[in-house]
Amino acid sequence: MKEVVKVSSLTKIYGDRVKVGPISLTIRENEVFGLVGPNGSGKTTTLRAVLGLLRPTSGEVKVFGLSPFAVPQKVNHRIGYSPEIPVFPPFFSAEKLLKTTCVMKGITGKAADQQVKQILELTGLVNHSHRKVGNFSKGMIQRLSIGQALVGDPPLLVLDEPMLGVDPVGRAHIRDVLVELKKQGKTILFSSHELYEVERLSDRIGMIYLGRTVLEEDVGKLRTSKKAVAVTLSRPVEKILLSALQEIEGVSEIIADGTTLKITWEGNMDPREKIAEKIVASGRGLLEMRMVERSLEDIFIAKVKEGVDG
């Protein structure tokens, strides 16, 4: 599949202290790519470099095979951008804002009217098109910002935290909009802290930690590369049992919380029988053991802890 965005060993040094990167990512045509990472890990920096708004200290950015710095006129109109904190003139209506954006992009007359209508429909803002943006909810603002990115029908959308501050119902609404855009053939690169949404929406995920990419993976593979069980004990777990469980071959991670444990393992050895043995030997009853999927959140927390420990 065609590569739409390629970020290779991007670094950015702010002042003489903060260093972001090296970050490397590849986003393919019609892919939804979710970029995750703790606050300050470099998501916005990466997205702004892809847009050509921020010049990296080193490394390379290619969008549709071209440098957004060397030939901005050939790249800019092919990218739609929704910034981390969208700010709109509060007295503008949604319709006026989109029409003004059309004018800025050289779209006028009937073409502009048609495009604004389509965008309002797609983003679910038709019934609010004449309302002042200053009265919009956060969810509506985010949808309007995505709508603004759609003006000019660019094939690549770069969305920096499109669900920031939005309630679950609003998030579901934004998710539906993004799913529809993927169906229309768009390539979507977005960042988010909403790991559940990222997991549901993305074809692939990039995780930045300590300023560098630690992972770039298909969502399906991410889930199946490790297996996990949730275990319920009759009495709370304690240190001796935890160390005994950690010694079992293949076990890579244990998250303990009172009487419940989440035990993850890697490789082909199935440790479940040994887990049961050790629990019973500790004098505890094994009330339940069931296979669970590792969520993106589990993987994220494990990676962050690895970074802190290592």
Q: How many helices (H) and strands (E) does the chain have?
A: 11, 13
Residue partners of 94: CB distance under 8 A and separation at least 6? 120, 125, 128, 129, 130, 131, 133, 136, 140, 144, 147
Nearest to 29 by CA among 203, 216, 219, 147: 203
**Which of 43, 173, 223, 278: binder of ligand ATP (CB under 6 A)?**
43
What's the closest the beta carbon of residue 37 comes to ligand ATP, in angstroms?
5
Between 45 and 82, whose beta carbon lies closer to ligand ATP?
45
Q: Which of 200, 222, 189 is nearest to 302 (CA)?
A: 222
Cβ nearer to ligand ATP, comparing 11 with 260? 11
Partners of 233 in the beta sheet?
A: 286
Q: Supply the minimum distance, in Å, between the C-beta of residue 44 and ligand ATP.
A: 3
Question: Is residue 44 within the footprint of ligand ATP (CB under 6 A)?
Answer: yes
Nearer to Mg ion, 85 or 269 (CB): 85
Among 1, 2, 16, 39, binds ligand ATP (CB under 6 A): 39
Asked whether position 145 contacts ligand ATP by CB under 6 A, the answer is no
Residue 45 makes contact with ligand ATP by CB under 6 A: yes
Note the residue count of the chain: 310
- Which partner, Mg ion, ligand ATP, none, binds residue 156 by CB below 5 to 8 Å per kind? none
Of 36 and 75, nearer to Mg ion (C-beta) is: 36
Number of residues that bind ligand ATP (CB under 6 A): 13
Q: What share of the chain is helix, strand, coil (3-state, %, to 5)?
A: 40, 30, 30
Can you name the residues that pair with 80 across neighbouring β-strands? 157
68 counts as binding ligand ATP under rule CB under 6 A: no
Q: Tell me how far apart the alpha carbons of residues 6 and 118 are, in angstroms, rounded to a whole number.
A: 31
11 binds ligand ATP (CB under 6 A): no
* Residues engaged in binding ligand ATP (CB under 6 A): 14-15, 18, 20, 37, 39-45, 84
